[in-house]
Structure 1
Amino acid sequence: MTTNPFAHLVNLAADGQVLFATDDFFQPAESLLHTTEPVWDADKFTPFGKWMDGWETRRKRTEGHDWGIVKLGLSGEIEGVHIDTAFFTGNQVPRISLQAACLEEDLPLVRRSEIGTCATDQELKAAGAVGSEKWDTILSMTPLKPGYPETRHHYFPINKACLGKRYTHLRINYFPDGGVARLRVYGTVSKDWSTVSPVQQFDLVALENGGIPVSFTNSHYGTPQNMLMKRESAGMYDGWETARNPNRPPIFKKDAEGLLVIPGSEHVVIKLGHIAIPEKVVIDTSHFKGNFPESVLVESCVLTQGQRLNDAKWHVLVKRVKCQPNLKHEFGVVGGGSGITHVRLTVFPDGGIARFRVFGTLGETKVSSKL
């Protein structure tokens, strides 16, 4: 399997919004942005044909090509894209290109998102008035391979001239028609910290505020990025879940404080977008009813420019504490000082977390991008 070269970056398209699509005949364009892995159901059909887990347009019989406009879930600087044609083995888009723009105002587009339909003349006119064909080309017209296991994953860096620019919207061009299972747009979140009051409380580790996992020990059932998303978790698939710890003892025993004596654990380290002062931690195990962690530990550190994670001196924010299934846990913190740059969440011995929040206020200086 091809390794994702952009795995250390945030998927800016997650929770994005499709604003326009020329055609939604076999499957609406919203499927393209789903964060779950695409699936195959051999027996599933709709009134319009074979159901596919992705955005698939009808076979074009008119002039032009299919295209759509997407508002990114998170605005930021794009570095690369992952285009997945999974299961589209005779109906994949043969060529694709991507364009992007930074727009400060919402586009006046009305979206229907209805299978078996195409854009009306009125919708085409409104979308055409946006002028998206003039947006920056971040990926020139590029061929795609069919969605077999060995050929489905396509990883492309964006055009160098577009690096370092902030983008909020994408135009997706199918040449001329067909289907793509998933589009993931990788980059770093851009946030104007001058608009944040020093006393305003916010989620320090949220993706939208520049939080990003920089190290983790296990992500067998779900990436740590999931638990940093703004919206509530939609299910177990929408959180961070590890494999069962293979080193767990054959018989569990408790210590004097009622915690299990366990030789192993799993952890994730999250870099903040800005140095900040932590005040409250939320551990949400929603949906994890038989696979929640027995307990968790939350620590923090301060790294200055040039220091690495190996140099970190970790300090406890929330001492190891037992967890309950399917529940939001809130904890006050100890320490935090004048600000922290990284947070480490450790789960014992393993398990799943739906959402992880660390609320606090701004510190004094911005975290170095070289950490």
Structure 2
Amino acid sequence: MINVASCELGSKIIFTTDEFFAKASRMLQESEAIFEDKYDENGHWMDGWETRRRRDGGNDFCIIKLGNISKINSFLIDTSHFRGNYPLAISIKGCNAKEIDDKSFINQIDSFKWLELLEQSDLEGDKKQNFSSKDISEITHLKVDIYPDGGIARFKAFGEICFDEKLYEKENINIASMKNGARAVYTNNEFFAPLRNILKDEDAINMGDGWETRRRREPGFDWGIIELAKPAIIDNIMVDTNFFKGNFADSFSICSAYLENTTDNSVITQSMFWEELISKQKLEMHKKHSFDNSFLLHKKPVTHIRVNIFPDGGISRLKLFGKFIKEVKA
């Protein structure tokens, strides 16, 4: 499962009753919350969402618009560094409101059918707490109520993106984009930066926004497994080493497979026997490398790929351009 409320997937705050001390958008970040002993014009700076103290008997809430229609299985509520200013409780509702602009949604907020995903539940300060979702219906928006006020460092909603059937009609799209449902399954190493970063659409903002492994001190190479949202045929590949200069991967290759029913654990072992899609290719520092279909060793449908980097190092983005297909003919 992935964090479908991540700002990296396009999720955003479209309304909040209050964010006097700290903006609600901060809690949608993937990074771990930090503590800094500094102050701004409103008070102590906090890495999360923090409202002012309520004196009217009510409670604060915010509305999150998910980057993609999603089904949610669980939540992680992180109050790290919020000790004397955390909410006593939280509740979460969701609704499905497709194709409506943000302003209209806010104006009609009470007219939508809101499903209870998490009933009012107690929170503790400076702690990560996990909660199950009561409903796994398709959701576009979340309403997060905190009681009565206070701060949350990070908010995560784990589930799956609902595949957009319109993508079947499109050619030469990045089928390895996290916004199109691709996800990082496993990597043997991501010491400096996580594998999932290479699935972002936007160019990397720095070296930490890519995938980087530790320095290898033994024979072998590093690798990571990616699952696509649906079967796809790959036509061309782009590997970007942007910002990686003294630590870029020397070369890369990709293996692939078509797996109808499998688990993440079994995929790891199976990947040793996958068919090569593109053989080992040299890379250069701080550069986008394009490989057209003349480099590809087959045009078979695939559901999973394993990207191998030799011997170690980093890449900032991996893009696989092609087309999603509905079924594989026998």
Q: Fold-level match, TM-score > 0.5?
A: yes
Higher fraction of strand: 2
The reply to whether residue 282 of structure 1 matches residue 238 of structure 2 is yes
Within the candidate set 309, 314, 326, 2:274 is matched to 314
Q: Tell me the distance in 1 between the aligned counterparts of 2:114 and 2:39.
A: 37
Q: Give runs of ≥4 in structure 1 deviating > 3 Å.
A: 126-129, 304-308, 310-313
The reply to whether residue 167 of structure 1 matches residue 139 of structure 2 is yes
Within the candidate set 74, 96, 108, 1:102 is matched to 96
Checking the alignment, whether the CA contact within 8 Å between 2:167 and 2:324 is kept in structure 1 is no
How big is the shift at 1:134?
5.0
The equivalences for 1:150-189 within 5 A come to: 152-159=127-134, 162-163=135-136, 165-189=137-161
Q: Tell me the distance in 1 between the aligned counterparts of 2:247 and 2:77.
A: 32
Local SS of the residue matching 2:27 = helix
Q: Tell me the distance in 1 between the aligned counterparts of 2:260 and 2:14.
A: 41
Q: Tell me the distance in 2 between the aligned counterparts of 1:212 and 1:336.
A: 23
Q: Tell me the distance in 2 between the aligned counterparts of 1:94 and 1:133.
A: 27
Within the candidate set 288, 293, 296, 2:252 is matched to 296
Checking the alignment, whether the CA contact within 8 Å between 1:10 and 1:225 is kept in structure 2 is no
Local SS of the residue matching 1:131 = helix
Structural RMSD (CA): 2.2
Which residue number in structure 2 is paired with residue 323 of structure 1?
A: 283
Deviations 1:234-275 (A, max 9, x none): 22332222222232xxxxxxxxxxxxxxx1211111111111
- Evaluate the alpha carbon distance shift between residue 134 and residue 303 of structure 1 in structure 2; reply closer, same or farther with a 3 A threshold: closer
| AA at the equivalent of 2:239 | I
Checking the alignment, whether the CA contact within 8 Å between 1:132 and 1:171 is kept in structure 2 is no
Which residue number in structure 2 is paired with residue 34 of structure 1?
A: 29
Checking the alignment, whether the CA contact within 8 Å between 1:296 and 1:347 is kept in structure 2 is yes
Which residue number in structure 1 is paired with residue 119 of structure 2?
A: 140
Which residue number in structure 2 is paired with residue 234 of structure 1?
A: 205
Checking the alignment, whether the CA contact within 8 Å between 2:227 and 2:304 is kept in structure 1 is yes
Q: Tell me the distance in 2 between the aligned counterparts of 1:225 and 1:75.
A: 20
| AA at the equivalent of 1:170 | L
Q: How many percent identity over aligned positions?
A: 32
Deviations 1:107-157 (A, max 9, x none): 4429xxxxxxxxxxxxxxx8363117851111111111111xxxx211222
Which residue number in structure 1 is paired with residue 5 of structure 2?
A: 13
Q: Tell me the distance in 2 between the aligned counterparts of 1:350 and 1:93.
A: 44
The equivalences for 1:211-250 within 5 A come to: 211-247=182-218
Aligned length: 319
Q: Tell me the distance in 2 between the aligned counterparts of 1:287 and 1:182.
A: 28
Q: Tell me the distance in 1 between the aligned counterparts of 2:120 and 2:171.
A: 44
- Evaluate the alpha carbon distance shift between residue 97 and residue 323 of structure 1 in structure 2; reply closer, same or farther with a 3 A threshold: same
Q: Tell me the distance in 1 between the aligned counterparts of 2:262 and 2:168.
A: 27
Question: TM-score when scaled to structure 2?
Answer: 0.89
| AA at the equivalent of 1:88 | F
Q: Tell me the distance in 2 between the aligned counterparts of 1:306 and 1:235.
A: 35
| AA at the equivalent of 1:316 | E
Higher fraction of helix: 2
| AA at the equivalent of 1:46 | D
Q: Which runs of 5+ in 2 are unaligned?
A: none
Deviations 1:191-238 (A, max 9, x none): 1335522x6221122222221222211122332222212333222332
